[in-house]
Structure 1
Amino acid sequence: MSVTDEKTMLKAFDKNVVERAMAMARETLEIETDAMHALQDRLVGDDSVGQAVAMLLECGGRVVVSGIGKSGHIARKIAATLSSTGTPAMFVHPAEAAHGDLGMVTPKDAFIAISNSGETAELMSILPIVKRMGAPLIAMTGNPKSSLALLADVHLDVSVAKEACPLNLAPTASTTVTLALGDALAVALLDARGFKEEDFARSHPGGALGRRLLTHVKDVMRSGSDVPMVTADVPLAAALLEITQKGMGMTAIVDADQRPVGVFTDGDLRRLIEKVQDFTKITIRDVMHADPRRVRPEQLAVDAVAVMEQFRINQMLVVDDDGRLVGALHIHDLTRAKVI
């Protein structure tokens, strides 16, 4: 067989593999989409989700989510989503719970047990103890007649017609439906608790949203001697020296009470050079921009970004409640703080 013939055969083989893979991908998504639609249809006229939400809202402790195998992975994700959206939650592995970790569960907690079969031995061995201590039990199973479903105070049906796995064995559609219903619980609880962006930011301080919603102007502004400022009667040359020394590409012009009356920037200087040859007789008052943009220290840094973007400026002055200059903000300060 020639090299050319080998390459032709490999291309044909690759094409068959790609086509088969695409067909399987489409079928998987169709099966899981159908399972989601079936779940939606089951919820019509079924108040089990509402009962579960009410039970979780009344919980005075934490929501404990448990499962093993693939259900365990889904349980971890549901616990994490609940925690980040205002409902304190944790994952407990059922096998570890049977060997001491059950001590983390209290009567004030609510327990969500996840098992597609509803007969998982590791779960069933600990749930009678959970029930005896008085913690409410919510079950998520694919079998409403299972031992777990019958033991639970509320049962959430996550059954599917078939798995996306061609062998109908690997948890695929069932885990997708369970995860989606867990998200539905979290979102319903979020809404019922009046959970806002600011609350989300507080539980995500290291993320981009947290920085945007928790960083205030006072956290990133320059203050004290780092703020470039001159009075309106100084020569332009003195103002340029202040700009150079402070390295902000601008200087504020203030009155006797340190209230800003104007601003002068590097850009203003470049434009001025095109028009004026002799700077010796010019005071900063003659060339400054009056009524500069201002921001308060307590405002969110992201608000300052919005003003900068709207007016296409790189610097802003920071004033207190009396209108006195207390700081200055450069677009680079916001970039370093990862607000933008």
Structure 2
Amino acid sequence: MSSQFNYCQSALNVIEIEAAAITQLGQYIDTTFTAACELLIACKGKVIVTGMGKSGHIANKIAATLASTGTPAFFVHPGEASHGDLGMIEREDVVIALSNSGESDEILALYPVLTRLSIPIIAITGNTNSTMAREASVSLCVKVDKEACPLGLAPTSSTTATLVMGDAIAVSLLEAKGFTANDFALSHPGGSLGRKLLLRISDIMHKGDGIPSVQQNETISDALLEVSRKGLGMTAVTNADKLVGIFTDGDLRRILDARIDIHQTPISAVMTERCVTINEHILAAEALAVMESKKVNGLIVVNEQQEPVGAFNMHDLLRAGVL
């Protein structure tokens, strides 16, 4: 029987029904949506998002989205709240309560306490005539024509619509607050965006004895030994501690073709002068862009006096997760 069932058509039906549910949300974006956002913008405490069952899973995700986009928020289970977790909620907070029916007993049990504390409640329900909607400070409608479940029992379209309404709130607040990519990175330091926006060259460069460096009067063979010891595929060439050039694996290939005596020739004769350098305060992502544009695999980091203070290559960027 399973081989004859059209799984693809069933999936397409679900997508069509849920897409229609999202599309019709536009009719509910009005002055009440603005009022809800203004309550949240004015909130001096935290945003508490709560919901029971499937609405609870959606509430958890909405809280996470708010928190990561500049609005401090967390999820509180309504059942646990009635048994002590209400202590997490303070007078300066705002509560967002989710329930498709708008008649969740666990959430309605919290209303009297929240009202006594003068905590604003934003209800997101599929029934604007429900108890939760009527007794809330602001009520947002997420009513859908039908669930994607053919039995009309499993929350599908309704949870999708609620999730999208939560995203609409989060993004509206993000834009109203002028939340930037740098702000986002601060709350996502472990993610790839955080690494790209927060990591500086000073965090990953080799320092001190780890910097490959030879004096300009040393021989090519001395420089080769330094390149091998430090393992960065290059070495800085200095004069009185100031950078005067760089010698890389690429330079080595060129001198071998020229049959130069590496034991007698000073490195200054074959080094690359006026080499590309950066300072240690530059973002690692910016350094990567410089390396790609100049087609180099490593860079020497210098201070204002043009003294080498660090070195790194593409492998360091790769290990740091910038690439």
What is the letter of the counterpart of residue 30 of structure 1? Answer: E
Say if 2:290 is the partner of 1:304.
Answer: no
TM-score by length of 1: 0.91
Give the match for residue 274 of structure 1.
257
Give the match for residue 192 of structure 2.
208
Say if 2:117 is the partner of 1:133.
Answer: yes
Contact 1:260 1:291 in 2 (8 A): no
Separation of aligned partners in 2, 1:226 and 1:122: 61
Shift of 1:323: 2.4
Give the match for residue 233 of structure 1.
217
User: Superposition pairs for residues 1-340 of structure 1, below 5 Å?
Assistant: 13-17=1-5, 19=6, 21-43=7-29, 46-256=30-240, 258-340=241-323
Separation of aligned partners in 1, 2:260 and 2:278: 35
Pick which of 171-180 and 183-192 moved more: 183-192
Cα gap change, 1:278 to 1:320, in 2 (>3 Å): closer
Shift of 1:14: 4.7
Pick which of 48-57 and 237-246 moved more: 237-246
Contact 2:28 2:142 in 1 (8 A): no
SS, match of residue 30 in structure 1 = helix
Separation of aligned partners in 1, 2:223 and 2:263: 12
SS, match of residue 321 in structure 2 = coil
Shift of 1:202: 1.6
Shift of 1:280: 4.1
Contact 1:235 1:284 in 2 (8 A): yes
Contact 1:231 1:253 in 2 (8 A): yes
What is the letter of the counterpart of residue 316 of structure 1? Answer: L
Pick which of 318-327 and 277-286 moved more: 277-286
Shift of 1:177: 0.5
Separation of aligned partners in 2, 1:140 and 1:321: 57
What is the letter of the counterpart of residue 157 of structure 1? Answer: C
Contact 2:28 2:140 in 1 (8 A): no
Shift of 1:58: 0.6
Shift of 1:68: 0.1
What is the letter of the counterpart of residue 17 of structure 2? Answer: I
Contact 1:260 1:292 in 2 (8 A): no
Give the match for residue 5 of structure 1.
none
What is the letter of the counterpart of residue 32 of structure 1? Answer: E
Number of equivalenced pairs: 323
Separation of aligned partners in 2, 1:187 and 1:159: 21
Contact 1:163 1:169 in 2 (8 A): yes
Contact 1:63 1:87 in 2 (8 A): yes
SS, match of residue 98 in structure 2 = strand
Give the match for residue 4 of structure 1.
none
What is the letter of the counterpart of residue 249 of structure 1? Answer: G
Shift of 1:281: 4.1
Shift of 1:65: 0.5
Shift of 1:332: 1.4
Separation of aligned partners in 2, 1:244 and 1:130: 68
Unpaired stretches in structure 1, ≥5 consecutive residues: 1-12
SS, match of residue 270 in structure 1 = helix
Separation of aligned partners in 1, 2:34 and 2:270: 66
Separation of aligned partners in 1, 2:36 and 2:305: 52
Pick which of 280-289 and 223-232 moved more: 280-289
1:292-333 CA deviation, whole Å, 9 max, x = no partner?
111111111111111122222111010113322111112112
1:243-264 CA deviation, whole Å, 9 max, x = no partner?
22222211111222x2322111
TM-score by length of 2: 0.96
Shift of 1:282: 2.2
Shift of 1:271: 2.0
SS, match of residue 159 in structure 1 = coil
Separation of aligned partners in 1, 2:303 and 2:53: 57
